[in-house]
Structure 1
Amino acid sequence: MTDSDSLIKLITKEFSGEISDNEKQRLENELSGSSDKQRIFNYLKVRWEAAGRLKPSVTVAIPWDDVRERIIRQVQQPAPPSRMKQVFLKSRWYYVAATIFFLVAMVFLLTREFKTNMVKHQALYEPVTVLLPDSSTVWLNTGATLHYREDYNEERRAIKLVGEGFFDVIANENKPFIITTNETQITVLGTSFNAKDQVGDAFAEVTVVTGKVAFYAADNQRSGEILTPGYKGIYDKNTGLFTKTRNTNLNFLSWKDHKLIFKAASLTEVITVLENYFKKEIKSRNDRLLSCQFTMEFDSPSMEEVLEVLAISAGIEYELVNETYYLTGPGCD
């Protein structure tokens, strides 16, 4: 189902009184995020209420897909003009005609709304930097995609993020900055933070550097966390629960700044960071190595540069076999 189909269905349920609490919240989110959609909703509400004052003599239940197909056929292939016939406002045929007019108008207006051109930025092979029209800056990690409307910043600042990105947002109290990911939504006024929501991951994360961020589920703004500098929000996609915790990961921006920092970190922690940064697999052939601790910093290092420091510090030897690094050595007590 397309975005316009989903919104049409929500509006229809709202006007017919069949909308659930969750669906009502989703509709409110959609309308609050777009003044165009709100105007369309208000326009259609007036027409619906006018049609509702005409009492039909029959009630017909028609599957949504059938209704949608009939509406689209009428929009795409309008009936040829015919001679005017006298009708009575109280007849059920006028009610049906008014209802069809409402639905056709809704499809037409919402289809036009969703035809607004979109701008797309994608980091295919390496991180890229994107300067938004409001001078906010986004750093996209490799594999991430950013979408926003061509009229971004005219009335609102809203973007769609797939993957991981770091945001430095220009403050504007009149236009909150709204990010939608696969399953969450982030709202800020002016701040800098890292957002990560990879397709297939069990968790979505937001880590705040400056300012304040509202982090909540895309379909439920009542559930979420307010995050301040130094804190990280974690959303469990399976349970729908949020966790707020201090950020202890010194390397959460290594993909952006190309710096690696370790302070009394075990080899297990070092391996996790290196695998994430270099996208290479590392295995230890001696479990005693994993308890060794390291304090070191690197600026734009190569894998070999880091491994050489490990070799000097703890007598570790390494070899590359089929794209996997294997570590050997006596280990630490």
Structure 2
Amino acid sequence: MSAHLNSKVTGLLNKFRTGEISPAEFQELKSGIDGITDSELKEIMSSEWDKYCNYESLPEEKIEELYSNLHITGEDVKPRFTLNRYWMQIAASLLFIIAGGLTVLTYMQRQTINTLAEQNVVIRSGDYGKSLVTLPDGTLVHLNAKSSLTYNNDFGIRNRKVQLIGEGFFEVEKDIKKEFIVHTEYMSITVHGTKFNVYAYKNKEITEMSLVEGSVSVKTEENSDKIINVLPNEKVTYNKNTGKVTHERTNNRIETAWLNKELVFRSECLGNVLDYLSRKFAVKFYTDNDVLLNDLYTGTFNDDNIESIMKVLELHYKFKYKKINNDIYIMTKNN
């Protein structure tokens, strides 16, 4: 066999000894050893033995144990070339090194797989409109504007956990063996299969879960030991400023209205209208007249642009408004 192959095998052994060998190179090393002659293997083994000169000689029982583990009987010990006891010890030592290397290699590969599994997938929606996400288990998540959904690469294998920032409507694929858990900064929601809306923007005062179908259990940051069981058309709201938790009935219309392009309000308090617009467009309203918020408003908006909607409300209520970044100021006085 060529000197090039001998050199390559020696180089791969050096990489193996220093722990720098890759899985592909390890397979190449095994093939290389099978492809060289007896005398060439003897020469390489002799060289490798010199590098391990401080190793103690293997006891007889260790050598017998090694052969036993390899299913080799005394009758089968017919080396590819004649070995005296000294060379038998070299072969056994190298075999132990390689066997140990296989264990290390397997461990390293397992660690690599675990590391990859622990890496996160992050999905972010845009500044406007909504996005639809299909998770590996078939669960559908509608993300509102300025929202993000995070989950592990191995989602669905050991568990089904996601983290939400912003707002999302979940249609969870049923799996009785693996609970589906939504984590937010202040609330955790556990389900098996159901439909619900979660509102959890970082810059908003509240975190909220409203249930449309099925059943869920909720735990809040304020009282993680208390589990709140929620039924359809109920919602749980956590106030970040006060730590207050409310569990109440809802028709889910305002909570899920952002899913529909058409906005319909029937005798709705203007305060609720603004609350919905705040959620849909990720803006915050300020007004100098709280009485105005109690006025009942009926109307339909087909536009998905907050500026167009505000111009309609401005004409209807004869107020002035000013938008600064994500804040909208409604001014009724001195008009």
TM-score bin (small chain): 0.5 to 0.7
Number of equivalent positions: 227
Query: 1-side partners of 2:255 and 2:159: how far apart?
Result: 29
Within a 5 Å distance, the mapping from 1:245-260 to structure 2 comes to 245-247=248-250, 250-260=253-263
Higher alpha-carbon deviation: 191-200 or 166-175: 191-200
Question: 1:194 — aligned with what?
Answer: 197
The question of whether the paired residues in 1 share the 8 Å contact of 2:289 and 2:332 is answered with yes
Query: 2-side partners of 1:322 and 1:119: how far apart?
Result: 33
Question: 2:148 — aligned with what?
Answer: 145
Question: 1:166 — aligned with what?
Answer: 169
Residue 259 (structure 1) shift: 3.6
Question: 1:122 — aligned with what?
Answer: 124
Higher alpha-carbon deviation: 297-306 or 206-215: 297-306
Residue 304 (structure 1) shift: 5.4
Partner of 2:157: helix, strand, or coil? coil
Partner of 2:226: helix, strand, or coil? strand
Output the amino acid matched with 1:254. Answer: A
Identity across matched positions, percent: 28
Output the amino acid matched with 2:147. Answer: A
The alpha-carbon distance between structure 1 residues 313 and 152, as it changes in their structure 2 partners (threshold 3 A), is same
Give the TM-score of the pair, scaled to structure 1.
0.55
Partner of 1:223: helix, strand, or coil? coil
In the alignment, structure 1 segments of 5+ residues that lack a partner are 1-80, 84-107
Higher alpha-carbon deviation: 263-272 or 183-192: 263-272
The question of whether the paired residues in 1 share the 8 Å contact of 2:210 and 2:236 is answered with yes
The question of whether the paired residues in 2 share the 8 Å contact of 1:289 and 1:329 is answered with no
The question of whether the paired residues in 1 share the 8 Å contact of 2:314 and 2:321 is answered with no
The alpha-carbon distance between structure 1 residues 168 and 240, as it changes in their structure 2 partners (threshold 3 A), is same
Output the amino acid matched with 1:122. Answer: R
Higher alpha-carbon deviation: 151-160 or 162-171: 151-160
Question: 1:7 — aligned with what?
Answer: none
Of 295, 298, 305 in structure 2, the residue corresponding to residue 292 of structure 1 is: 295
Query: 1-side partners of 2:284 and 2:242: how far apart?
Result: 30
Of 151, 154, 159 in structure 1, the residue corresponding to residue 157 of structure 2 is: 154
Output the amino acid matched with 1:154. Answer: I
Of 269, 272, 277 in structure 2, the residue corresponding to residue 269 of structure 1 is: 272
Question: 1:17 — aligned with what?
Answer: none
Output the amino acid matched with 1:217. Answer: T
Query: 2-side partners of 1:284 and 1:225: how far apart?
Result: 35
Of 233, 236, 246 in structure 2, the residue corresponding to residue 230 of structure 1 is: 233
In the alignment, structure 2 segments of 5+ residues that lack a partner are 1-53, 57-107
Partner of 2:173: helix, strand, or coil? coil
Residue 209 (structure 1) shift: 0.8
Q: Which structure has the larger Rg?
A: 2
How far does the alpha carbon of each residue in 1:39-67 deviate from its partner, in whole angstroms, 9 at most, with x for none?
xxxxxxxxxxxxxxxxxxxxxxxxxxxxx
Higher alpha-carbon deviation: 111-120 or 206-215: 111-120
Within a 5 Å distance, the mapping from 1:40-59 to structure 2 comes to none
How far does the alpha carbon of each residue in 1:96-124 deviate from its partner, in whole angstroms, 9 at most, with x for none?
xxxxxxxxxxxx99998565232221124
Residue 283 (structure 1) shift: 6.0
Query: 2-side partners of 1:283 and 1:203: how far apart?
Result: 17
Within a 5 Å distance, the mapping from 1:278-317 to structure 2 comes to 278-279=281-282, 289-303=292-306, 305-307=308-310, 309-310=312-313, 316=318
Output the amino acid matched with 1:186. Answer: I
Higher alpha-carbon deviation: 147-156 or 304-313: 304-313
Higher relative contact order (CA 8 A, sep 6+): 1
